Amino acid sequence: MFEWTGSGDGAVEAWRIEVTGTVQGVGFRPCVFREAVRLGLSGTVANIPGGVEIRVEGPRRALEAFCRRLREAPPPLARIRSLTVRPEAPGRAGTGFRILSSREDRSAAAAPVAPDVATCGACRAELFDPADRRHRYPFLNCTDCGPRYTIVESVPYDRPRTTMKGFAMCDACEAEYRDPANRRFHAQPNACPRCGPRLALLDAGGRPVAADPLREAAERLARGEVVAVKGLGGVHLAVDAAAEAAVARLRARKGRPSKPLALMARDLATARRLGDVGAAEAALLEGARRPIVLLLRRPGAPVAPNVAPGVHELGVMLPYTPLHHLLFAEPACPPVLVMTSGNRSGSSLCAGNDEALERLAGIADAFLLHDRPIAARTDDSVVRVAAGAERVLRRARGYVPEPVALPRALPAVFGAGAALKNTFCLVRGAEAVPGPHVGDLEDAETFAFYQEAAAHLSALLRLEPEAAACDLHPDYLSTRYARGLGVPVLPVQHHHAHAVAVMAEHGLEGPVLAVVFDGAGLGPDGTIWGGEFLLARPAGFRRLGSLRSFPLPGGDAAAREPWRPALALLRAAGRAGGDPDRPPGVLRQIPAGSRAAVLRMMELGLQAPATTSAGRLFDGVAALLGLRARLDYEGQAAMELEALAHRAAAAGERPAAYPVALRRGAGGWRLDFRPAVRGVLRDIGRGAPPEVAALAFHRWLSAATAALCRRLARETGAGEVVLGGGCFQNRLLLEDVVERLTAAGLRVYAGERVPAGDGGLALGQAAAAGFRLQGGA
Ligand code: ZN
Ligand code: ZN
Ligand code: FE
């Protein structure tokens, strides 16, 4: 491990130890200090670009023990990437051990800033200890917990460069901060009721309410009011999750008719009443990151039906700030709160107090705010456990800005991301740093947030990209942003980027088979792709096959109105000519004239672009099964179709899958969906429950996917398959495909730390461009 061999054990040696990884803002220097003092070593520790530098002197055996301790027992939040040792001439360290402040550092540091961390057990104990000086203080934290990324304005990570700079520490806090034996030693956001941020409750008009803010907020929640609660990365809108009328009021005011709302449960026992919590889910719920965890909803879950209509999961998180813990400890507080992003539907999260009062006016009945500013707006992250692993669906608080290790060092590239569910990604050396979830880049406000977040994270990483990567689609705002950066721009095809995101995360350089199922992405042939089988390397790909194509009458409207793809599927299956008075599913709700007009658009090829989209196939089948003619939010019909199928699977139904038909044409393999559409029609025609047909459709798609993969694996010799695209956020599909491919002897990979959907696209873009710049074939 250490190549250097020096003199005997007794003589004093000097080592320079460089540690890289997530080692700033996580209590690493204090840990170094304590170990050095314990072992009687002298020297210094300081932050340097990319990590921490330790200069230490002492007997060799003690130095070795010191390194071993750092490797084996680093602070809980530290992630050591490398630890290298170089001998130096002894005699420079002097006596004692010191932590050098950033000002004393030789250089401006740019080690990664850590993600925000949920309140630790020790701080929680103090919070509820009447004898503690921080009893009931909503902003306590320590080196193991508290805000990080959301308060950092610039690097190196030190209090004057955080939003805590306006709070001068009192003597007691300062003493803790300077005492190496204290667990608040160098805890940058350290604070107490005397010197730190304060809480206030304001009424709907922004006027202070003269009452205990927490008790009053809890009582208002219990009465069904909507309370805006400022958290780590932004403002939530909270309401009693069991109160149907209150939830309905929140939905109406926010303009969000049916999209599922996230919940915060008082504790793990309460979460278990909401959904199925296995060991993996419990670890995520109670872990330091505290994401929203999607749980299979339990019958009788104590929440109003309008919290998550039509879906079979509930998104649940546990309290992650002292403020949340105190709120739930109020006797009046409901045990489960809706905690949804504080915004009007579709726009970005509010972070500033004035901004919240202005933008949430008319939505919130009261505001529970504080005076610690938010430097970086950050939403809650969303995860699910599927196919045996944690799958991040929305990557933000608790995860950003943690890097993802790449298989090799790449040039500095900015990945601009997609149009919907956007985030960007920065690649630096052998690391990629995905930015926080931004949202749908469809309005000026969200685009402004995108630019702000990209500039902020680039500054924290001191990264100046040599190149930018973007989608092939010229009209995405992210594409335009990339083109405005003044560096070479490399467009990356959408589905190739999805594949490379999975490859990058899992350290694969290919060639691999990639199955990418999603809503839409522009293909190099100008058509809309979305059900793709590729042979992929990071720098390029070949399309081996796809879903059989079908027209999308109305273009963009077809993505919002599943009855349109439903009609296209019927027509493709040769069943559009049936009794016009008795069309299947939701087509019954569509006037015969509109149906005829859309059929005619397809006959004439007017405004009916061809697509191979798996997402639209799901939408169309959902509509044929009677789910919905129009969407309130992206992915709704597909989620409801999965929920139906899940119900059948949970009831033990085992319908035979519809026939698989694979055909080889001039453009490669075609996976023909028509037998599945005919099967669905036959099933509903003979009165089978739509649940069973939904399950049979899922089974058909996984069987067909696995069958085509087996063939392609034989043809190409590839033994690895990556699964990407938003459709693989469907648990049933993912687990079934993984199982079938694994049984066929293939190694299967899907997104884990990075979303399978468009939230993971930027990583794939940046990595693909980085490999291309390096001249990979
Ligand atoms: Zn703590
Ligand atoms: Zn204080
Ligand atoms: Fe996509």
Distance 454 CA to ligand 1 centre (A): 29
CB count, 10 Å around CB of 476?
21
Q: What is the pLDDT of residue 103?
A: 52
Predicted confidence band at 141 (pLDDT cuts at 50, 70, 90)? very high
Ligand nearest to the CA of 118: 1
Instruction: Report the distance separating Cα 572 and Cα 558, nearest Å.
Output: 16
486 CB burial (10 A radius; 0-12, 13-18, 19+): exposed
**Which of 109-113, 213-217, 571-575 is modeled with the greatest confidence?**
213-217
Q: Which of 8-22, 75-89, 148-162, 437-451 has the lowest average pLDDT?
A: 8-22
Q: What is the pLDDT of residue 102?
A: 61
Considering the four listed CATH numbers 3.30.420.40, 3.30.420.130, 3.30.70.1060, 3.30.70.600, the one that applies to the domain covering 546-750 is 3.30.420.40
- ∠ CA(101), CA(103), CA(104), 5° rounding? 70
Predicted confidence band at 158 (pLDDT cuts at 50, 70, 90)? confident
SS3 of residue 385 by DSSP: strand
Do residues 15 and 85 make contact, with C-beta atoms less than 8 angstroms apart?
yes
Residues 342-361: what's their mean pLDDT?
85
Q: What is the pLDDT of residue 487?
A: 96
* Active-site residue (options: 38, 47, 571, 670): 47
Distance 663 CA to ligand 3 centre (A): 25
Q: Which of 347-351, 412-416, 449-453, 657-661 has the lowest average pLDDT?
A: 347-351
Q: What is the pLDDT of residue 282?
A: 98
Q: What is the pLDDT of residue 327?
A: 98
Q: Which residues contact 226 (CB under 8 A, 6 or more apart)?
A: 237, 238, 239, 246, 249, 250, 253, 363, 364, 365, 366
Distance 592 CA to ligand 1 centre (A): 64
* Active-site residue (options: 29, 60, 266, 428): 29
pLDDT in tens, 43-89: 999 888 778 999 999 999 999 999 999 999 998 888 898 999 999 88
Distance 142 CA to ligand 1 centre (A): 4
Instruction: Report the distance separating Cα 227 and Cα 225, nearest Å.
Output: 6
Residues 726-738: what's their mean pLDDT?
98
Residues 768-772: what's their mean pLDDT?
97
Q: Looking at the domain that runs over 12-99, which CATH code has it been given?
A: 3.30.70.100
Q: What is the DSSP letter of 590?
A: S
Distance 317 CA to ligand 1 centre (A): 19
Instruction: Report the distance separating Cα 678 and Cα 659, nearest Å.
Output: 10
674 CB burial (10 A radius; 0-12, 13-18, 19+): middle
Instruction: Report the distance separating Cα 457 and Cα 424, nearest Å.
Output: 10
Distance 190 CA to ligand 2 centre (A): 8
Ligand nearest to the CA of 528: 3
Ligand nearest to the CA of 75: 1
> By C-alpha distance, which of 497, 375, 495 is closest to 424?
497
Distance 494 CA to ligand 3 centre (A): 6
Q: What is the pLDDT of residue 697?
A: 98
Distance 148 CA to ligand 2 centre (A): 19
- ∠ CA(18), CA(1), CA(99), 5° rounding? 25
Residues 616-622: what's their mean pLDDT?
98
Distance 663 CA to ligand 2 centre (A): 71
Q: Which residues contact 245 (CB under 8 A, 6 or more apart)?
A: 224
Q: Is the pLDDT of residue 181 over 90?
A: no
Do residues 311 and 639 make contact, with C-beta atoms less than 8 angstroms apart?
yes
Instruction: Report the distance separating Cα 219 and Cα 332, nearest Å.
Output: 5
Instruction: Report the distance separating Cα 479 and Cα 422, nearest Å.
Output: 12
Cα 324 to Cα 94, 211, 217, 236, 335, distances in angstroms? 47, 18, 11, 11, 12
Q: What is the pLDDT of residue 675?
A: 97
In the chain, list all ranges with CATH 3.30.420.40: 546-750
Q: Is the pLDDT of residue 108 over 50?
A: no
Distance 370 CA to ligand 2 centre (A): 16
Q: What is the pLDDT of residue 656?
A: 87
Distance 122 CA to ligand 1 centre (A): 6
Mean pLDDT of the chain: 93
CA 96 to chain CA mean position, Å: 44
Distance 207 CA to ligand 2 centre (A): 27
Q: What percentage of the chain reaches a pLDDT higher than 90?
A: 84
Q: What percentage of the chain reaches a pLDDT higher than 70?
A: 97
Ligand nearest to the CA of 516: 3
Instruction: Report the distance separating Cα 541 and Cα 224, nearest Å.
Output: 54
pLDDT in tens, 5-31: 444 556 889 999 999 988 887 888 888
Predicted confidence band at 605 (pLDDT cuts at 50, 70, 90)? very high
pLDDT in tens, 626-671: 999 999 999 999 999 999 999 999 999 999 889 999 999 888 999 9
Cα 445 to Cα 133, 451, 483, 557, distances in angstroms? 42, 10, 20, 24
In the chain, list all ranges with CATH 3.30.70.100: 12-99
Instruction: Report the distance separating Cα 286 and Cα 276, nearest Å.
Output: 15
Residues flanking ion ligand 2, Cβ below 5 Å? 170, 173, 192, 194-195
Ligand nearest to the CA of 171: 2
Distance 128 CA to ligand 1 centre (A): 13
Do residues 645 and 697 make contact, with C-beta atoms less than 8 angstroms apart?
yes
> By C-alpha distance, which of 324, 326, 304 is closest to 314?
304
> Tokens 């390194």 label which residue?
67
Instruction: Report the distance separating Cα 399 and Cα 262, nearest Å.
Output: 18
In the chain, list all ranges with CATH 3.90.870.30: 114-272+308-376
Ligand nearest to the CA of 141: 1
Residues 758-765: what's their mean pLDDT?
98
User: Is 29 in the active site?
Assistant: yes
Return the structure tokens found at 142: 């320590």
Predicted confidence band at 578 (pLDDT cuts at 50, 70, 90)? confident
Predicted confidence band at 582 (pLDDT cuts at 50, 70, 90)? confident
Considering the four listed CATH numbers 3.90.1580.10, 3.90.1150.10, 3.40.50.720, 3.90.870.30, the one that applies to the domain covering 114-272+308-376 is 3.90.870.30
Residues 363-376: what's their mean pLDDT?
96
Ligand nearest to the CA of 758: 3
Instruction: Report the distance separating Cα 510 and Cα 516, nearest Å.
Output: 16
Q: Is the pLDDT of residue 94 over 80?
A: no
pLDDT in tens, 521-549: 999 999 999 999 999 999 999 999 999 99
Ligand nearest to the CA of 124: 1
pLDDT in tens, 556-567: 899 999 999 999
Distance 231 CA to ligand 2 centre (A): 21
Q: Is the pLDDT of residue 217 over 90?
A: yes
Q: Describe the chain by its helix, strand, coil percentages, rounded to 5.
A: 35, 25, 40
